[in-house]
């Protein structure tokens, strides 16, 4: 059984989440489960369960709640996105510096362009984390007619934005 983690240990936690993403589903070999840093755009993917578990263990074992590094103290998981309904298929978990603030603004935006273009027009289900509401947009930089907010785990984003998301807002 793995340790419970505070959000300050998100580096390990995100990897842990990715591990869990594969562990319960007998993921097909071609499935891919990635984590992405909101601020740096760094993406790490796991093609197999064994690889994900190994990576997660490497990341989480040395840290844990008692040995947190200062720069990681604000990071949280903000959202997970799936390429199939019901949280199936590939997944992308985005983590960033802090929970969302309910102040009427989009606090964070994430473009599925460049290194993340492989995720564009593929999202079918989504899970908001860290008190974030999720908005899905059909164009980069929060462009086009959006749908949302998705305030809770959402097994299907709906016909309007299914397989059309190119950028994501977190509010």
Partner 1 sequence: MRKRWTIPAAMIAASLMTGLFPAPAHADHEDTPTSRQLLEACDNGTDACVFHPDGRPEYFAGPADQVGRAVYNCTGREQRFEVSWSDTTTETNSVGVSMGVEYGYAEVFRATFKATYGHEWSSSHTESQTTYVFTGPYEVGWVERAPRMEQVSGTYELRFPDRYYGHYIWYVPFEATGPAPGGEGAIAQQTRPMTQTERNECP
> Which residues of this protein are in contact with partner 1, per CB under 8 A?
1-8, 13, 16-17, 20-27, 64-68, 73-74, 76-77, 80, 86-88, 91, 98-109, 127, 129-131, 133, 135, 141-142, 149, 152-153, 155, 169, 171
- DSSP 8-state code for residue 129: -
CA 53 to chain centroid: 17
Q: How far is the CB of 129 from partner 1 (least distance, A)?
A: 6
Q: Are 7 and 70 in contact (CB under 8 A)?
A: no
CB-nearer residue toward partner 1: 43 or 155: 155
CB-nearer residue toward partner 1: 98 or 120: 98
- Which whole-number Å values give the CA distances from 44 to 1, 71, 102, 164, in the listed order? 23, 19, 29, 23
Q: How far is the CB of 74 from partner 1 (least distance, A)?
A: 5
Q: In terms of Cα–Cα distance, which of 89, 76, 68 is closest to 39?
A: 76
Q: How far is the CB of 29 from partner 1 (least distance, A)?
A: 15
Q: How far is the CB of 127 from partner 1 (least distance, A)?
A: 5
CB-nearer residue toward partner 1: 36 or 76: 76
In angstroms, the CA 42 to CA 87 distance is 23
CB-nearer residue toward partner 1: 9 or 164: 9
Q: How far is the CB of 61 from partner 1 (least distance, A)?
A: 14
CB-nearer residue toward partner 1: 64 or 118: 64
- Which whole-number Å values give the CA distances from 81 to 14, 117, 163, in the listed order? 13, 14, 11
In angstroms, the CA 84 to CA 81 distance is 9
């Amino acid at each position: 059984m793995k340790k419970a983690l505070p959000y300050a240990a998100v580096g390990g936690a995100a990897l842990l989440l990715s591990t869990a993403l594969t562990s319960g589903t007998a993921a097909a070999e071609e499935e891919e489960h990635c984590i992405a840093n909101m601020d740096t755009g760094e993406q790490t993917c796991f093609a197999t369960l064994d690889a994900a578990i190994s990576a997660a263990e490497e990341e989480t074992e040395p840290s844990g709640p008692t040995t947190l590094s200062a720069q990681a103290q604000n990071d949280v998981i903000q959202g997970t996105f799936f390429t199939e309904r019901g949280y199936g298929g590939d997944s992308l978990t985005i983590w960033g510096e802090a929970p969302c603030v309910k102040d009427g603004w989009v606090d964070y935006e994430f473009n599925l362009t460049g290194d993340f273009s492989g995720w564009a027009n593929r999202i079918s289900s989504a899970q908001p984390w860290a008190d974030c509401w999720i908005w899905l947009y059909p164009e980069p930089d929060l462009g086009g007619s959006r749908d949302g907010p998705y305030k809770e785990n959402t097994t299907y984003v709906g016909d309007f934005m299914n397989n059309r998301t190119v950028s994501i807002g977190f509010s």
